[in-house]
Chain A
Amino acid sequence: AQRVTQPEKLLSVFKGAPVELKCNYSYSGSPELFWYVQYSRQRLQLLLRHISRESIKGFTADLNKGETSFHLKKPFAQEEDSAMYYCALSGRTDKLIFGTGTRLQVFP
């Protein structure tokens, strides 16, 4: 079965602290993994996808097939990073399967 697990509902850090949002997946094949972000009162938007291997807004994510993980990391959190983050998986079909999301709160 295809599944995405985000174990933390809420992650709170202070500005300047490192951040790691966890994502584990279950999929028998080669999935495509994404991180989507939803800022307050804004639309859901793509942050990262694993095949592009780029850094966006200081965030990076590496696909670890051995651990079936795609954790999102940023070395120094900023207040404007406060948002809801969803990890998502795309398999053989056009379906995008979302995790339950992690709310990141960055305090000043």
Chain B
Amino acid sequence: DTEVTQTPKHLVMGMTNKKSLKCEQHMGHRAMYWYKQKAKKPPELMFVYSYEKLSINESVPSRFSPECPNSSLLNLHLHALQPEDSALYLCASSQVGLTGKADTQYFGPGTRLTVL
């Protein structure tokens, strides 16, 4: 399996809901990422996990809570979101090189989130 998969493809939620986004890869990659992409804008990094440990948090609001239960899975738990959080949420994964730095990132198709 050489792809990053994400579920669901689409999600509509109210501001009081709790939902989760899921990302999975079976390429043996040990770095995984969450990005947020608004329409016609580049992806913005949210979180990086390296060897299942959170290594980068780009000052993301606490209503977004990442989780990496194992080396193949990455979740993003959502709670009390705002309408401005509506966006395409992308997951990516990469190998970690011998220097400890991540290699080329491979992206999933994204989850399109709408917050009402």
Q: Could you tell me which A residues sit within 8 Å of B by CB distance? A: 34, 36, 42-46, 49, 86, 90, 92-96, 98-101
Q: Bound state CA distance, A93 and B33, in angstroms?
A: 13
When distances are taken between beta carbons in the complex, the residues of chain B under 8 Å from A36 are 107
A34 to B40, CA, bound (A): 19
Cα distance, A42 to B108, chains bound together (Å): 9
Closest-CB distance, A45 to chain B (whole angstroms): 7
In the assembled complex, how far is the CB of residue A54 from the closest CB belonging to chain B, in whole angstroms? 13
Q: Which residues of B contact A (CB under 8 A)?
A: 31, 33, 40-43, 45, 48, 50, 55-56, 90, 94, 101-102, 104-110
Q: A94-B56, A100-B42 are in contact. Are A44 and B107 (CB under 8 A)?
A: yes
Residue of A nearest to B105 (CB): A96
CA separation between A38 and B65, bound complex, in Å? 27
Asked, given contacts A43-B108, A43-B109, A45-B107, whether A95 binds B45 with beta carbons under 8 Å apart, the answer is yes
| Residue pair A101, B42 in contact (C-beta under 8 Å) | yes
- Residues B90 and A44 in contact, CB atoms below 8 Å apart: yes
